[in-house]
Chains A and B, each alone.
Chain A
Amino acid sequence: MRPDTLVIGAGVAGLSCARELALAGRRVVLLERAAGVGGRCATRRVEDQAVDHGVVFLHGASADFAQALAAVEEGGPLPGWPLRLKGSGRPCQDTAFSPGAFRLAYRRGISAFPKHLARDLDLRLRAPVAHLEAGPGVIRVATGGEGPREAPEIVLALALEQARSLLRTLVLPAGTEAAREIAGADGLLAMVGTLPCLTVLAGYPQGAPPPAWDVLYPEGSRILQLVAHDSAKRRDPRRLVLVAQAHPCWSREHQDWPADEWSVEILAELGRLLGSWAAAPDWNFAHRWRHARVDRGGELRRPLMLRLPGGATIGVTGEAFHPGGGVEGAWRAGREMARRLQGEER
């Protein structure tokens, strides 16, 4: 059966949008290019130990978001994490430590939250979308692996740059109101950029001294914005695991280098900050987040809703479409998108 809505991207924004629509009785299909949900709320398993290599912890300031996070019982919530902070460097989001803000992680990994949002949804993994096409009252999407699909509504819940390039594949009659709206959306998305983050996961030999902090924000490091003591989130960790995340501008300068070249520099910086042992882990993995986050203060006020001739609708949502951004912003922007699609203006 043809879905009412196709949501492209199963990060937190896409999941919360799909969930809200499904709860309202809509037929929703969620297309995700990766093998799992969550986008930047990412956890991988190394030697059977969970490692969060994207978002390090979740934070927010409002009761409903706190409830949504606390509901993920199967994740093993760690309220208040990180409890032990070190360093006076700037966090990725200043508001994470504002008065009234709460913080939280999960024993089983940050991805417990998106997995919880994804339960019971019609989700197609490994289904990248390359192309959009406007048909009569519908939008067709070309997906790799899945064959084409169509729906009267589609939602792009992707990094801004990816949403923008998909919108650009649409061909609309020049001079129409819809073509102007799409061009306006394109111009708007071009103004809100995302920041990259080069990340290294490092596992140390047994007997390595566990640091006395959960998160370190080093002051005076040109390279590293934060180091997370990831194994402190796990019960009986097999190893000490640290996750090092680089500053946006250093990441921008180095993101097109081969990963083994920039990861060596990040490990050397870890050694400089923590002691030479930290530069020589048993294993390390490099992860290049090209679109790690929206620069703070650059967010828009609400999701976009673009109507095409014939009645089809394209929604565009994500972290950038709620003031404040972050995971909470993504979660809110997804719900706001669903409400707009259902014609409920706030």
Chain B
Amino acid sequence: MTGRLLCGLAAVAALAAGCSAGMAAPAGPAIVTSPAAQGAYQGLPLDPPQPRPTFTLTDTSGQRYDFAARTRGKPTFLFFGFTHCPDICPTTMADVAAALRGVPDQVRRSVQVVFVTTDPARDTGKVIAAWLRNFDDGLPNGFVGLTGTVAQVEGAQAAARVPVATDGGQTHSAQLLLYGPDDYARVSYLAGSSPDDIRRDLPRVVKGS
């Protein structure tokens, strides 16, 4: 787990978690030298906690979406990626969906998932909506997909304190942020987290402890 954590940090530091380019993170053999960090969460703890960001983008039906206003007080996953992405993005969305399917219904119903494209040139609302439906099928809350101008999606990334994507959005942070009902994120997940990590943390985050 420590190795995984370091890999993930490296990925973020290098902005390297992009689906097409982010394989640089685990440099060399995966050597695990110490047991898992005994943190409160399975995911990567955020210390200090990060406040829920404020940004307004456009949802897949073309309507304005004020992220802070629409998700305030709700446990919310936030991820930046793009649909023309073979590895990290679909894996992350599938992991979130799998985690949600594994928690009690009451928890599942309270959680919102928001995906923001880093590739607005290609990811129209229609493209994002079709892509997200592959993951949220059967879940009570459909995943929200957002797009905007390049400046808007870059602003959203900055507001969420993730490294701003480059290369037309294809090299982007792999950080999956999880905000609690108090509008702070205390844990996030990086490439290499498992659905189980998320599933185990989720009830606690939802409870706001």
Q: Do A and B truly interact? A: no
A contact set with B: CB distance below 8 Å: none
